Amino acid sequence: MNQLLKKHALKLILLVLLLIFAPVAEPLVTRLWTSGRTEHLQAQVTRQAQWQERVIQIEELAARLQRRFSQAIRERDQAALDEAVDLARVLDAECHALLQIEPSDALRELRIQAHQVAETQQELFLRLRDSETDATAAEIRDNHARLNQVLEAWDQAFHDYRRERIEAFHDELADIGAYSMRLESFVVAFMLRCIVGLLLLGYLLMLFSRRREGRLQRDNRRLEDDLESRNVALHQANEALKNEIEERNAAEWEVRKRLHMEETLGKASGMLTLPTAPKFESFLELLAEVMAVDRAFIVLFKHESMVIEKVFEWPTRPTAAGESGTAGLEGEDLMTYPWWYERVRTNEPLAIEDVAALPFSAEKERALFEANHIHAMLSLPVHTVDDETLGFMCFVDPEKPRSWQSASIRMLFLVSELLANYFARQKAEEQLRHDAFYDRLTDLPNRLLFKNRLEHAIQKCKRHHEYNFSVLFLDLDRFKSVNDTLGHLVGDQLLIELSDRLKDSVRPGDTVARLSGDEFVILLESIIEVEEVIRVVQRIENHIQKPFMLKGKEIHISASIGITQGNTEYKSAEAVIRDADIAMYRAKTLGKARYSVFDKHMHDKAVSAMEIEHNLRRALEQDEFELHFQPILSARTGEVSGAEALIRWNKPGYGTVSPSDFIPIAEETGLILPIGEWALRAACRHVRGWLDAGREPLTVSVNCSARQLQRQDLPGIAAALLEEAELDASLIKVELTESAVMGDVDHAISVLNRLHAMNIKISVDDFGTGYSSLAYLKRFPINTLKIDRSFINGILENDDDRAIISSIIAMAHSLNLSIVAEGVENEEQLALLRDLGCDEIQGYFYSKPLPADRFMAFVDARARSLREAGDEALEAGGEPAGSSN
């Protein structure tokens, strides 16, 4: 209900006001109207009164005028006339005034008439007075009568006029009276309604106000309750806010502190990443400031120990008596302080709030700290990710105990990690620097450092005439077999021990460096005479010759040493090393375990070897090689039994290069491997071609170098090439030199056995030049021995050679080996060899090595001549010609 009232209160009030004021509206309008009328009536009454007054005056004036005129006429009295005239004038004026108040056409007309009559009367009177005639008198009378008529008419008109006006006035009055009556009743009704309305309004207002009051009270109570609860909530919120502000302040402080710490951390890390070495005093000062301590220091241990080696501290001023410091720490082994040591070792922070309160087990530490005036201390190990403790950081309060906040400890942990990284990095860099200049295995200077020192020596040699140097290039002779047979670890151990021996063989100012593998170089400083150098070399050789005891075994090694002496013409260290290397190589080729002094000739040879190597590579790519075939003939029948394939290099712009000029270089550089393979493939293809051409099968011997035997899978390659050419293995003979076979006997036996198993024949070339005995060769699955040309050369003149050849042939035959005599150049040699029982002959006597087509032509020609000789012999009844040559 209240809600309803509240909602419609305004509408209700408007309705009540309408009820009250609707009836009131009419009287009000009426009142407004009558009030106009009343004023009008009052004006009318006033005007009526004025008018009445004037009318009375006019009537009096008219009466007096009439009387005066009558008197003047009657008595002919001038004075009466004048007075009448004046009266007439006054009357006229009055009439005029009256008409002004109440205009009336009739009156106006009458006034004019009266005025005219009065003037006429005056005129007549004047005439009468001057000459009284009858006519005049009659005229005056007439006129007078007219005047009287006019006055009467005037009077009448005036009377009507007056009546009219009075009636009108009365009507108006009645009208006004009726209006007044109505007005009064309206006023009364209005008053009553007003009162009722007001009462109703009052009542309603009262009702509303009561309700409103009730509602207000309720609202009030509710508001009070609300206020109360809000107050409580506000209070609580206030409290919460207060707490929050406090917390926020605390957090803000924490954040600021953390930011400060992070900033410090950033600065500290920045200091540690500077390209230049950091100033640890500034670093510590920075940390001491954030930790609010008076002293800070970083302690570093000696490598792989806990002996305090280095201390960085802040402040840097020398520690005065009574001041805390690190003086007592230097040189201390932390292991003598087990309690402290244990914490550092296990990478734990050590936060001592009060040194005096340290446990009994830390008695020693307490004594140390107290001696160094340390009251409180925070120590963090500098521990690398590789679990190595490099040292520790310390923050010290020298005056009073204090607590250490965990946030600070955490930050310092990060700092200690940064430090550990920095020191580890520095260590790694040092190691890198060391590695860049030193050999990892032997810790000797490496090529770079050696070159550096050698450059200095070259410069010094140029500047000081009395100064010279010498470089030795040393290469172990059988190091590979040590590695292969005893393993790399023993090999490494040998190199380490050798390094020590080399260092012991030279003066402290000299440099022993390892170039690679088993190659060492030695720079002998301030050495002028070559004899002196040789004495040093001999000393080195003596040292090396002594057996090495490795893995319980006695190992003997030797070295080939190249010597070069410094001179002012050397422009680079490389050139010096190169010459020493050439000399060393010369020593190797001279039979190893010796030294060789470099000379210019060696250099030229080396240069040409390099050129050849370069060209050989190109020759392989450009297919510049060709096989020539030197026939091998049966000593008994003279038939071509086979051929030796000999490589030729058709060098563009040069012509044919002999294998003697490039095969040794190819062997040195390893190019012999692809070249040898090429020769084997080419030989297989030629034989296949000949067979395809319908020729008789011929066995072709292909030269294989020692390197091929050692490094290549010769049987595998041969099998593949034979398969490629679809060739019977028995048509290929592998020719190996005696020295190649004797180099690595076990390996050679295994390879040759495999070749033999494949049905590939094996021949030993240049037999007799080496030291192998036939009995030794029994171990190899050999088919043929080729007697070296040097023996054949002297066979006719030299009895020894003849004897040797004879015994070789006899023994070979006893071992079931066939014999080929190489380099047979004349018939005598041939005859003798045939007498000695040689099986096959190769040499210029029959033919030089020939290109394939010419070789075939030779084979054909030989067969033809043999046939012809055979025919002739048959005809002559003798032996066939082939049996003799």
Q: List contacts with ligand C2E (CB under 6 A).
A: 630, 646-647, 658-660, 663, 676, 679, 703-705, 765-766, 789, 822-825, 842-844, 849
The answer to whether 801 and 823 have CB atoms below 8 angstroms apart is no
Which residues contact residue 546 at a Cβ distance below 8 angstroms, ignoring those fewer than 6 apart?
501
3-state SS assignment for residue 306: coil
Q: Which is nearer to ligand C2E, 107 or 714 (CB)?
A: 714
Closest residue to ligand C2E, judged by C-beta, is 703
* Cβ at position 711, least distance to ligand C2E in Å: 13
Q: Which is nearer to ligand C2E, 776 or 844 (CB)?
A: 844
676: tokens are: 């040898």
Which residues contact residue 877 at a Cβ distance below 8 angstroms, ignoring those fewer than 6 apart?
none
* Cβ at position 816, least distance to ligand C2E in Å: 23
Q: Which is nearer to ligand C2E, 738 or 766 (CB)?
A: 766
Q: How far apart are CA 110 and CA 680, in angstroms?
A: 180
* Cβ at position 760, least distance to ligand C2E in Å: 16
Q: Which is nearer to ligand C2E, 493 or 847 (CB)?
A: 847
Give the DSSP letter string of 399-451: SS-----HHHHHHHHHHHHHHHHHHHHHHHHHHHHHHHHB-TTT--B-HHHHH
Phi/psi of residue 152, nearest 5 degrees: -65, -45
* Cβ at position 729, least distance to ligand C2E in Å: 18
* Cβ at position 662, least distance to ligand C2E in Å: 9
Q: How far apart are CA 838 and CA 85, in angstroms?
A: 215
* Cβ at position 839, least distance to ligand C2E in Å: 16
* Cβ at position 846, least distance to ligand C2E in Å: 9
* Cβ at position 851, least distance to ligand C2E in Å: 13
Q: How far apart are CA 729 and CA 740, in angstroms?
A: 22
What angle (nearest 5°) sits at the alpha carbon of residue 379, between those of residues 374 and 382?
Answer: 145
The answer to whether 740 and 748 have CB atoms below 8 angstroms apart is yes
Give the DSSP letter string of 49-62: HHHHHHHHHHHHHH
User: Which secondary structure element, helix H or strand E, spans residue 755, and what is its range?
Assistant: helix 745-757
Q: How far apart are CA 254 and CA 683, in angstroms?
A: 89
Q: Which is nearer to ligand C2E, 419 or 675 (CB)?
A: 675
* Cβ at position 675, least distance to ligand C2E in Å: 7
What angle (nearest 5°) sits at the alpha carbon of residue 462, between those of residues 456 and 466?
Answer: 100
Cα 519 to its chain centre, rounded Å, is 44
Instruction: Map tokens 């040879």 to a residue.
Output: 605
* Cβ at position 676, least distance to ligand C2E in Å: 6
Phi/psi of residue 554, nearest 5 degrees: -95, 120
Q: Which is nearer to ligand C2E, 59 or 613 (CB)?
A: 613
* Cβ at position 620, least distance to ligand C2E in Å: 13
Q: Which is nearer to ligand C2E, 490 or 720 (CB)?
A: 720
Q: Which is nearer to ligand C2E, 413 or 678 (CB)?
A: 678
Give the DSSP letter string of 746-801: HHHHHHHHHHHHTT-EEEEEEETSSS--HHHHTTS---EEEE-HHHHHTTTT-HHH
Which residues contact residue 739 at a Cβ distance below 8 angstroms, ignoring those fewer than 6 apart?
706, 766, 769, 770
Q: Which is nearer to ligand C2E, 454 or 616 (CB)?
A: 616
Q: Which is nearer to ligand C2E, 124 or 764 (CB)?
A: 764
Q: How far apart are CA 555 and CA 492, in angstroms?
A: 13
Q: Which is nearer to ligand C2E, 103 or 655 (CB)?
A: 655
